[in-house]
Amino acid sequence: MRVVATDRHAIHAPSAFISRGNRTANPEVPERAAIFRRAVTAAGHAVVASDDHGLGPIEAVHTADYLDFLRTAWSEWSALPDHAPEILPNVHPGRNMTIHPTHIVGKAGYYQADTACPIGAGTWDGAVASAQVALTAATLVQRGRAPVYALCRPPGHHAYADQAGGFCFLNNAAIAAQYLRSHGADRVTVLDVDVHHGNGTQGIFYRRADVQTVSIHGDPRAYYPFFTGYADEIGAGPGRGANTNLPLPRGTSDDGYLDTLEIAFAAIAAFRPDALIVALGLDASEHDPLAFLAVTTNGFRRIGERLGTAGLPTLIVQEGGYISDVLGDNLVAVLDGFENA
């Protein structure tokens, strides 16, 4: 399988992560991509470098004011006399707050949904580099060279058109989907198999009938992102019926996951897409440090096999999956399962 990658992601190296009030080390670090790259190289997959497709395809998904924030946030923040080494918002607009802020502290709270997406000096360049990986992979799919794996880091599926969140800044899968729509695909499906709900991707396409979003994830009643990912969210307006959420209870393992994947593919078959984008999270692993589900390495192989039997031009975009002894094995299992289907 062709693998698209870049080393430019490493310029984004967040350190902070606040979870349940505890400040700990951020798990979304450059070493994740290094593990993935070593694993696919050892498995014999061909790695190609990403190309620069400019900002146009990114601007087709994300709002101008949000992109301006990401570009300028660090320079504004670092001009503060008492600034921290990363941008972590300490105030967010609540339901009774409506003014669009102009100060960098207010803008941080407005554009960063949570404290899991700290912004540093290299975040903008790292996020753009990740999006270029997805775009390069999308061009290969558009040219008939699927399947392709986009080794994207930082991930993207929690990023809305106008907001960062959950380690994500630019929505790589959504950018790739829009690129394929703009280059000949009438209908595209984004299937999200990350352990967390693909809330940003859902939000971007929620009112559209041309891009289907399907997400299998841990039950948001007890797991991030908490506020979205419920089964009754089916799309709105022209997009009504084009969004499917399949939340799973804590501890779901291989058989339960694969049964749910069949439900997802029934929805995909009814939509009849021209291309499939898989937002691949490996954090459904039983050994993931953010574990909620309990998928084994063999379970990931079975997931890859099912993806490979779909018979669709497929782009696999890396999302979550955090450092464990089996992280690289799980990625190779998915890709090998796909190729052997």
| One pLDDT digit (tens) per residue for the chain, 341 residues | 999 999 999 999 999 999 888 999 999 999 999 999 999 999 999 999 999 999 999 999 999 999 999 999 999 999 999 999 999 999 999 999 999 999 999 999 999 999 999 999 999 999 999 999 999 999 999 999 999 999 999 999 999 999 999 999 999 999 999 999 999 999 999 999 999 999 999 999 999 999 999 999 999 999 999 999 999 999 999 999 999 999 999 999 999 999 999 999 999 999 999 999 999 999 999 999 999 999 999 999 999 999 999 999 999 999 999 999 999 999 999 999 999 99
pTM: 0.98
Spans of all domains in the chain: 2-50+122-340
Compute the distance between CA of residue 267 and CA of residue 311 in angstroms, rounded to an integer.
Answer: 15
Give the model's pLDDT for residue 20: 87
For residue 165, what are the β-bridge partners? 168
Give the model's pLDDT for residue 217: 98
**Pairing state of beta strands 243-248 and 211-218?**
parallel
DSSP 281: -
**Pairing state of beta strands 148-150 and 275-280?**
unpaired
Q: Is 158 a catalytic residue?
A: yes
Give the model's pLDDT for residue 19: 87
Q: Give the CA distances from residue 159 to residues 39, 95, 127, 225, 326, in Å, rounded to whole numbers and listed in that order.
A: 27, 20, 11, 12, 27
In CATH terms, the superfamily for domain 2-50+122-340 is Histone deacetylase domain (3.40.800.20)
Of 45, 157, 158, 287, which residue is the catalytic one? 158
Q: Which residues have C-beta within 8 Å of that of residue 293, sequence separation ≥ 6?
A: 195, 218, 248, 250, 251, 252, 253, 257, 284, 285, 286
Residue 24: φ, ψ to 5°: -130, 180
Question: Nearest-CA neighbor of 245 among 198, 176, 315?
Answer: 198
With tokens 């080794």, the residue in question is 151
10 Å CB burial of residue 262 (0-12, 13-18, 19+) is exposed
Question: Nearest-CA neighbor of 72 among 93, 85, 87?
Answer: 87
At 277, list the tokens: 């984008």
Give the model's pLDDT for residue 4: 98
Give the model's pLDDT for residue 129: 98
